[in-house]
Amino acid sequence: MEAIATAPTAQSAPSPPAPAPDPGSASVHAATAEVAVVGIGYAGLPLAVAAAAAGHRTRGLDRNDFLVAQVNMGRPPVDTVTLAELAAVSDRLDATTDPAFLEECSVVALCVPTPVSPQGVPDLGPLISAVRTVRSHLVPGQLVIIESTTYPGTTEGVVREVLEESGLVAGRDFNLAFSPERVDPGNTRFGFHNTPKVVGGLTPACRDRAAAFYGALTEQVHLTRSPREAEAAKILENTFRQVNLALVNEFAQICHRLGVDVWDTIEAASTKPFGFTAFRPGTGVGGHCIPVDPLYLIHRATQAGVPFRLAEQAQRINDSMPVWVAARARELLERDGVPVRGARVLLLGVTYKPDVADVRHSPAGPLAAELRGAGADVAFHDPYVDAFSVQGQPLTPTRDLRAAIEAADLTVVVQRHRVYRNGLLARSRRLLEPCGPAPIEEHQA
């Protein structure tokens, strides 16, 4: 489908509601309409802030009392929204745990988590629970948008079925659309306003109304044929990253065995101005998206009788990286005559990516578990994390980074936060950097 560039102009901004609103028309949504965002975490709060910044009276709904209290006090509970951004919309945004207000809203967007079980099976429980809450307060003329990542067919299937238990019919009495969240914590270049929104609607009218809503919040909206393509697009984006990270992670292991500098090799390959995208190896993959989203498509493809073998193998390779890094740590210690049992190992950066406070699915967890299982005494340092537990047992935190590096038998850089780029790593007795070599100036410190 054609991508349509939209800006908050009179043409793309929705007009005031008619006396008898037609849910198939974008004119239902007024510029001052009430907007509800169900789930005000990493993805929901940026949407709520964007809606409020566009002039909409916006309210977040969440079961988590802490998240609600923090938003109402003007304190961002997640690092995908800044203090200044939240303060700028304080007069148009608040949060609550009471869903009764949903009946007053023209737009209801669901941004709740879609996790997987320990067996890797998609868990739609949180989403369906949120949809049931919306169903209980659904009124004619509303636009309901799903932003939670899920497998193709969810919006047209179980979501539609649950909402229509209200007696209202999707596409006739209310609009239904899917628009995947595209939040990248720590990304200072691309935020909500300049990251294109993909929109698929149950009907063309549903799609157009959702596009009109997002068109006032973002610079570009891309329309898909149906919600299925929008759902699949989000999973494809993260499967692409999963597969390419698996490629470079396995390539790093081969380079290590062959005595090839993987970083010099990637730098050389990156000089090609076409046909190559640089991915870099690390301790593993983390966050909510890459370790989880491909499993939704793997599950759905298997149900359809078409196994997604490449994604399955990529998942296994990336899941195995903490084990490989732990084996390299043992090799380094034993090579220098330091028994692994009782060795003091320091993990630097236990978040899933540099310079964010998000520890969801962090590879530091399975890495620490492997090292502890071998008998090592594992501690951690992270300027963004006060406490970090592995298998229910807390790791020892350290605040004195210089002293901890000097005392450790081995320092493992799990995430290269900016604070680790000041020359301190040169003080380490033994240094393992699966996330990349230190800049030259650090080795000269």
Residue range 22-56, pLDDT digits in tens: 444 433 333 345 999 999 999 999 999 999 999 99
Strand partners, 59: 36, 94
pLDDT digits (tens, 9 = 90+) for 386-397: 999 999 999 999
Among residues 130, 129, 139, 215, which one has the least CA distance to residue 179?
215
Q: What average pLDDT does range 340-351 have in this prediction?
A: 96
Domain for residue 252, yes or no?
no
My answer on whether 220 and 282 are in the same domain is: no
| Locus of tokens 């608040």 | 94
Q: What percentage of the chain carries pLDDT values higher than 90? A: 78
pLDDT of 437 reads 58
Same domain, 212 and 283: no
pLDDT (average), residues 85-94? 96
Residue 234 falls inside a structural domain: no
Higher pLDDT, 24 or 68: 68
Task: Find, among 314, 318, 336, the residue nearest to 434 by Cα.
Answer: 318
β-pairing verdict for 377-381 and 344-348: parallel
pLDDT computed for residue 188 by the predictor: 84
Q: How many helices (H) and strands (E) does the chain have?
A: 13, 16
**Residue 122 bridge partners (DSSP):** 116
What is the predicted pLDDT for the residue at 2? 32
The pLDDT value given to residue 14: 36
* Amino acid 409: pLDDT: 95
Strand stretches in 111-170, DSSP E: 143-146
Q: Helix, strand, or coil here: 377? A: strand
Domain boundary residue among 208, 225, 242? 225
Residue 262 within any structural domain of the chain: no
Q: Is 329 exposed, middle or buried (0-12, 13-18, 19+ CB in 10 A)?
A: buried
Active site residues: 289
pLDDT at 293: 86
> Which of 192, 225, 258 is a domain's end point?
225
Say what the pLDDT of residue 27 is: 39
| pLDDT on residue 91 | 94
pLDDT (0 to 100) of residue 33? 52
pLDDT at 436: 67
Q: Is 274 a residue whose pLDDT tops 90?
A: yes
The total domain count for the chain is: 2
Give me the chain's average pLDDT, please: 89
- 3-class secondary structure, 284: coil
Instruction: State the distance between the two ends of the chain, measured CA to CA, in whole angstroms.
Output: 54
Calculate the alpha carbon distances from 94 to 112, 148, 290 in Å. 17, 21, 31
Among the candidates 167, 192, 225, a domain finishes at 225
| Residue 356, token pair as written in the block | 């964010």
Encoding tokens for residue 362?
């962090």
> Domain span at residue 425?
268-443
CA dihedral in degrees (368, 43, 113, 232; nearest 10)?
-100
3-state helix, strand, coil in the chain (%, to 5): 40, 15, 45
Tell me whether residue 23 is in a domain: yes
Show the DSSP H helices in 173-219 as ranges.
204-215
Which two tokens mark 403? 């002293």
Q: What's the confidence (pLDDT) of residue 375?
A: 96
Instruction: Confirm whether 250 is domain-assigned.
Output: no
- CATH code of the domain in which 64 resides: 3.40.50.720
* 425 is a domain residue: yes
Instruction: Indicate whether 81 belongs to any domain.
Output: yes
**φ, ψ dihedrals at 347, nearest 5°:** -100, 125
Q: Strand runs (DSSP E) across 39-123, as ranges?
A: 57-61, 93-96, 107-110
In a domain, 351, yes or no: yes
Is the pTM higher than 0.75? The answer reads yes
Residue 337 contacts residue 410 (beta carbons within 8 Å): no
Tokens representing 41?
């975490």
- Host H or E run for residue 348: strand 344-348
Q: Is the pLDDT of residue 15 over 90?
A: no
Task: Name the more confident of 171 and 443.
Answer: 171
Q: How confident is the model at residue 184 (pLDDT cuts 50, 70, 90)?
A: confident
Q: What is the pLDDT of residues 402-445, one digit of tens each?
A: 999 999 999 999 998 988 877 778 878 888 988 765 443 333 22
